[in-house]
Structure 1
């Protein structure tokens, strides 16, 4: 029970590790992840859906990777070998990536904001239909990466 109380405190180092591993897994800087307004929501949502020990293990492995990696190349290699090639850690990493990109956990949206702020919209240079409209005369602007 002590671990659960400690990990639910978003001011602790586990939250910082969660944000750092989220940055490494998504390719988006921490400040952009924070700007979604969902960082603490996602962190606490994961804690409600998983056993605290499972999430803590994922974050501890992640923290160890950050501590021993002295370059971006070492970090990528360590994430590939210790997280992505490890079935238990890989499943958690995929869930975290999906959470940030789609705003879903096990196929369900976390909340309305998670749909609107999904990173997928930034990657596609699009807006979430029915939630954030592109603006007046946006149709007159040539799409990004368009061959037209």
Structure 2
């Protein structure tokens, strides 16, 4: 799998972070970028844990991404090389939680992280008190509604 540049960010590991984030969350790199939080999350992780720990995770991720040529290979490699290692699994769980809920170890990353959490897209909802759905939105039947 090829890791492409997403932005003009010179940090090579940023590209790996975005690629593995997309794989772990099931969202494309563009969808993750559209939250406006990609660089913020990357820098937040660098400020929260030892750089060497994060780089080890990113190097393992890079190897997995480069050596997986199908989705099955990718899933199996993540399972055996990341999820089987408690430290790597904790890191991946924190990254998934950060994207989906906007938190790192139980604390919101910033004021935007709640509003732009991926959970709202998954639920086809809006974050209460932060982003309103729009005028007359109550007249539109909810997605997957049986009524």
TM class by shorter chain equals over 0.9
Question: Which 5+ residue runs of structure 1 have no aligned equivalent?
Answer: 1-9
* TM-score, length-scaled by structure 2: 0.93
RMSD between aligned residues = 0.7
What SS class does the counterpart of residue 114 from structure 1 fall into? helix
Q: Tell me what 2:142 maps to.
A: 143
Q: Which secondary structure does the structure 1 equivalent of 2:142 belong to?
A: coil
Q: Which has the higher contact order (CA 8 A, sep 6+)?
A: 2
Q: Cα distance, 1:80 vs. partner? A: 1.1
2:133 is paired with a residue whose SS is coil
Q: TM-score, normalised by structure 1?
A: 0.92
Distance 1:144 1:81 in 2: 36
User: Match of 1:127, SS?
Assistant: coil
The aligned residue for residue 23 of structure 1 is 22
1:132, CA displacement in angstroms? 0.4
Residue 98 of structure 1 and its aligned partner are, at CA, apart by 0.3
Shift of 1:86: 1.2
**Residue 100 (structure 2) pairs with residue 101 (structure 1):** yes
The superposition leaves residues 100-123 of structure 1 with CA deviations (integer Å, 9 ceiling, x where unpaired) of: 000001111111110000000000
Match of 1:60 in 2: 59
Where does residue 129 of structure 2 map in the other structure? Answer: 130
Where do 5+ consecutive residues of structure 2 fail to align? 1-8
Select between 47-56 and 75-84 the one with higher mean Cα deviation: 75-84
Counterpart of 2:6 in structure 1 is: none
* Structure with greater proportional helix content: 1
Alignment-derived partner of residue 13 in structure 2? 14
**What's the offset of the Cα at 1:28?**
0.2
Distance in 1 separating the partners of 2:135 and 2:109: 30
**Count of aligned pairs:** 139
